[in-house]
């Protein structure tokens, strides 16, 4: 226990047989439960853990079919909630996450200034030198997508799976609605925002020592783009029209209509001029330009409101080593 908190670490396993034991052995003693979830691993990582690890805190769970990283973590979450735990940490079994950072990750939760924390490898620029360029660029793109869909504009590095959550927030999420695959972390943020949970980024260093990651960021960006678009639409409807109504609820549709009207007319006028070779009246061009500019102003006002509606929580720099 740490400050009377009962802490559980969930470790999803898939093709991590050579790293998993080192990860488990490095988990600090103040952690009360360690749930290893073998996601139908072809290397039989779960059985290997049972044979090699004698820690009484460790329990191995087996999925009969491969559910993906999200499905494995959700299985661990469900088992953790069945126990008397107050904080659940998700730690990957591939050795890229330092277990000694658990204390820093859960610090905002222990102090009850946040409901959910996640690692962020982008806070200190010196830490990015070891990150592969493809991951660096891909994570930047995915981060901006996540900002729109989740509403947590201060959050970055959304594919970072080093996370911790308080029991109260986890119980309200509705785990069955969350994606089972790599979209899991981004979908979690979307669901957390709908229940107004406080989310905090925690600085961390990731280790890249030649491990093979099954996540291909450039390949999954199109799929993530579509899912983020759907979550964005749901969030806007829930937060601005179902749960609440504000000036931003008016600014968004007006901005979309004005900009859409101006852009559509601009295209039609251009096509007509291209076909007839006749000059377009200045008044028509001014009307189109003015309509689009006013629409942009309304959209920017909505965006400003959306960015500032979420409470920002900053992790104390002195806590990071």
Give the pLDDT confidence score for residue 310 in this predicted structure: 81
- Return the structure tokens found at 172: 């309200």
Which band of pLDDT confidence, cut at 50, 70 and 90, is reported for residue 199? very high
Q: Classify domain 7-240 at the CATH class level.
A: alpha beta
Number of H helices, E strands in the chain: 10, 7
Whether 14 and 41 have beta carbons less than 8 Å apart is answered as yes
Whether 149 and 118 have beta carbons less than 8 Å apart is answered as no
Instruction: Name the residue with higher pLDDT: 280 or 107.
Output: 107
Give the pLDDT confidence score for residue 318 in this predicted structure: 45
* Residue 117 confidence (pLDDT) above 60: yes
- Return the structure tokens found at 169: 């927030």
Domain locations in the chain? 7-240, 246-308
Determine if residue 245 is left, alpha or beta; phi over 0 gives left, psi from -120 to 50 gives alpha, anything else beta.
beta
CA distance 142 to 228: 9
End-to-end CA distance of the chain: 22
Q: How many CB atoms within 10 Å of residue 143? A: 18
CA distance 236 to 255: 14
pTM score, two decimals? 0.88
* Residue 209 confidence (pLDDT) above 70: no
- pLDDT tens digits, 20-78: 999 999 999 999 999 999 999 999 999 999 999 999 999 999 999 999 999 999 999 99
Give the strands of the sheet with 58-62, arranged side by side. Answer: 58-62, 33-38, 7-13, 87-90, 163-166, 116-120, 199-203
The HSE-up count of residue 257 (CA atoms within 13 Å, CB side) is 5
Which band of pLDDT confidence, cut at 50, 70 and 90, is reported for residue 213? low
CA distance 106 to 163: 9
Own/partner pairs, 224-232, CB within 8 angstroms, 24+ separation:
224/142, 224/145, 224/183, 224/186, 225/145, 227/149, 227/179, 227/183, 227/186, 227/187, 228/145, 228/146, 228/148, 228/149, 228/186, 229/149, 231/149, 231/150, 231/186, 231/187, 231/190, 232/148, 232/149
């Amino acid at each position: 226990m740490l400050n009377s908190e009962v802490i559980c670490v969930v470790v999803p396993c898939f093709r991590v047989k050579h790293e998993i034991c080192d990860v488990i052995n490095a988990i600090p003693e103040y952690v009360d439960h360690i749930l290893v979830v073998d996601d139908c691993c072809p290397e039989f990582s779960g059985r290997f853990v049972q044979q090699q690890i004698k820690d009484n805190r460790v329990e191995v769970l087996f999925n009969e079919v491969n559910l993906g990283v999200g499905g494995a973590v959700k299985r661990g979450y469900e088992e953790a909630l069945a126990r008397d735990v107050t904080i659940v940490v998700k730690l990957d079994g591939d050795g890229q996450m330092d277990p000694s950072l658990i204390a820093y990750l859960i610090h905002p939760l222990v102090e009850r200034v946040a409901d959910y924390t996640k690692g962020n490898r982008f806070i200190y620029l010196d830490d990015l030198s070891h990150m592969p360029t493809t991951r660096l660029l891909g994570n930047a793109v995915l981060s901006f997508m996540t900002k729109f869909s989740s509403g947590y504009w201060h959050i970055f590095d959304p594919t970072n799976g080093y996370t911790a959550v308080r029991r109260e927030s986890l119980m309200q999420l509705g785990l069955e609605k969350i994606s089972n695959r790599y979209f899991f972390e981004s979908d979690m943020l979307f669901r957390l925002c709908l229940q107004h949970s406080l989310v905090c980024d925690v600085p961390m260093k990731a280790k890249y020592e030649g491990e093979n990651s099954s996540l291909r960021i450039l390949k999954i960006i199109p799929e993530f783009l579509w899912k983020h678009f759907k979550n964005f639409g749901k969030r806007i409807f829930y937060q601005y029209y179902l749960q609440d109504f504000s000036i931003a609820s008016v600014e968004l549709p007006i901005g979309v209509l004005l900009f859409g009207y101006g852009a559509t007319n601009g295209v039609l006028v251009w096509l007509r001029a291209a076909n007839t070779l006749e000059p377009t009246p200045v008044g028509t061009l001014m009307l189109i330009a003015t309509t689009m500019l006013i629409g942009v102003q309304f959209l920017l006002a909505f965006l400003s409101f959306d960015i500032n509606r979420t409470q920002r929580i900053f992790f104390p720099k002195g806590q990071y080593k």
